Structure 1
C-alpha cells in the first residue's frame, strides 16, 4: 500500500514539473523580442516621403545640376528615380539632367518594417535666359567739344546740375585732349554731374581718369541711387559707392578712380565728380560706366 502511494506522489510531482515547463514555454513564446529599426515606430508613425530641390547656378552648364533635400519622416532607406532612367539610394543626392525637359522625380521612403511612402514632383529643367546688362552711354564722356555733342557742341551741357557751378574745360586732358579742369581755391568748387539708366540688381564699375598737382589734393567720384534736380539734394542722397583719387603724379600724368557698385532695384542712377578746395588746378577725363 505504501509503495502505491509513493508512486502516485512521484507521478504528481512529474506532472507538476511538466505543467510548469509548459507554462513557461507559453510565456516565452508570447514575448516579441524583435525591435523595429531606427526611425520606425510600428503601428504609430508610418513613413512620410517628402523632398525639395534646388537648381544649380553658374556661368556654364550648372543649370542642369540639381540637389535634392530629403524631408521624409520616420524612414530609414530611400530610393530615388529621376525620371530619366537614373536612380539613387543616397539620402540627399545630386543629379545632373541631360538637358531641357520635364522630368518626374520620385522618392520612395521605407522604415524598418518595410512600410513605404512615395512622393513625386515634376521638374521642368530650362536653361536660364542670359540677361545682357545695359551699358549706359555717357554723353560727353571724353569732354570733347565737338559738333552736336549734347545738342550744343559744348560738352559741359551734358554735365550741368542746377545749384552748382559746372567744371571748366581745358586742352590739358589725358594725351593732350580736352578734359575737365577744376580751378584751385576754396572759392571755386566746380561739379560734374550726369544721370542715366542702368539694369537693376547688376554690378557695375564707374571709372574716370584724373591728375593732381599737389599732395593733399583730391577728386571725388560718387554714384548716387537716384537722380538729382539740384545740387542741394546731394548731401542727403543715398550713395551706391564713392571713392577719391589722391595720387599726385603732376599735371598730365593721369591715374584711375574706380567705384564698384550694385544697382539694386532702382534703374535710375547718377554720377557726380567734385573736389574740395584743391590747392592747385586738377584735371578729369574719360568717364565710363560698364557692367562688371
Structure 2
C-alpha cells in the first residue's frame, strides 16, 4: 500500500514539475540587445563621410556636415588639437595652413569606420572696392546724359530745388550754381550711389563763394532718400562745409572722408544754405581711400 502511495506521489510531483516548466516558458520575458537607431546588426556596418564649408564672415571657421550612415556616435578630430563628438560640427582654426580632418563613426555593436580629408585654409584676397560712377560729375550737358541730356536730371530730388548750371565752373567749364537764399528756396544737388560695404572712401568736390560767412556744404548720407524733407533726420556718414572765400572763379576743395557700414547704398547732397551771394560747385568724385 505504501509503495502505491509512493508511486502516486512521484507521478504527481512529475506533473507539477512539468506544469511549472510549461508555465515558466509561457510567462518568461525574453530580452534582446536591440541595435540603436541607425545601426543594423551584422548587415550594415557604419560608413563615415562628411563635407566641409568655409564661413562667409570668418575664413578660419569651417562647418562640417556629417553624412555618415548606420552610426550612432561620432568622434571628430579637426587636425589642430580640437575634437568634438556631435553629429555635425563647427571649428575655428588658429591660422592658415593645411589640416587633416577625420571623423570616426561607430554603431551600437562597436563597429567603426573613419573618413579623413584635408582642408587648406588661405585668407581670401580683399575684394577691390567699388569706385562709384557719378552722373554728370562735371555738370556738363551732353546727348543722352541722365537720359535727357540735361545734367541737372542726375542731381534732382523730390521736394528740393535743383541747382542752376553756369559757364562759371572750374577751369572755365560749366558748373553748378546755387542762388542766394533771398532769391529762391535753397538749391540742393543730390545723387544716390552704390559703394562697397565696410570700406573707407573720400568724397571730393570744388566750390567757390563770394561773401564771407557763405559756404557750400557736402554731406554723405547713410542710405538713400525719396524726398528732401527726409534729409534733416537722415543718418550721416560725414559732412564738411567749405568756407574759404576767394571770390567767383577761384575754386577750393572740400573733402569728406567717410566709412560705409554694412549697407553699400549711400547718397551725397550739396547745399549752400542761407548764402548772401551766389556760390558754385564743380568736379565731384568719390574714390576708395588707400
Q: How would you bin the TM-score normalised by the shorter chain?
A: 0.5 to 0.7
- Equivalent position of 1:251 in the other structure: 248
| The one of 204, 207, 211 aligned to 2:204 | 207
Aligned counterpart, 1:289: 286
**Structure 1 residue 271: Cα displacement:** 0.3
Which residue is equivalent to 1:274?
271
Give 3-state SS (helix, strand or coil) of 1:184's partner: coil
Q: Which residue of 1 aligns with 2:239?
A: 242
Matched, 1:191 2:188: yes
2:130 maps to 1:134: yes
The question of whether the paired residues in 2 share the 8 Å contact of 1:186 and 1:276 is answered with no
State the distance in 1 between where 2:217 and 2:155 align.
Answer: 15
Displacement of 1:127: 3.8
Q: In the alignment, which of 193, 200, 214 is matched to residue 217 of structure 1?
A: 214
**Which consecutive residues of structure 2, in runs of 5 or more, have no partner in the other structure?**
1-58, 60-79, 81-94, 101-117
Which residue of 2 is the match for residue 181 of structure 1? 177
How many equivalent residue pairs? 183
* Match in the other structure for 2:142: 146
Confirm or deny: 8 A CA contact 1:210 1:255 kept in the other structure. Answer: yes
Alpha-carbon deviations, 1:246-265, whole Å to 9, x = none? 00011111111100111111
Within 5 Å, which residues of 2 pair with 1:1-292? Answer: 101-103=97-99, 124-188=120-184, 189-292=186-289
Instruction: Give the distance between the partners of 2:147 and 2:285, measured in 1 at CA.
Output: 20
Q: Once the 2 structures are TM-superposed, how far is the Cα of residue 123 of structure 1 from its aligned partner?
A: 8.7
In structure 2, distance between residues paired with 1:248 and 1:206: 21
Gaps of 5+ in 1: 1-62, 64-81, 83-96, 105-121
Cα drift, residue 141 of structure 1: 0.4
- The structure 1 segments of at least 4 consecutive aligned residues displaced by more than 3 Å after TM superposition are 122-125
State the partner residue of 2:28. none
Question: Deviations along 1:60-95, whole A, 9 cap, x unmatched?
Answer: xxx9xxxxxxxxxxxxxxxxxx9xxxxxxxxxxxxx
Which whole-Å CA distance do the structure 2 matches of 1:235 and 1:185 have between them? 18
The TM-score normalised by the length of structure 1 is 0.59
Q: CA deviation at 1:186?
A: 3.4
Aligned residue for 2:161, secondary structure, equals coil
Secondary structure of 2:162's aligned partner: coil
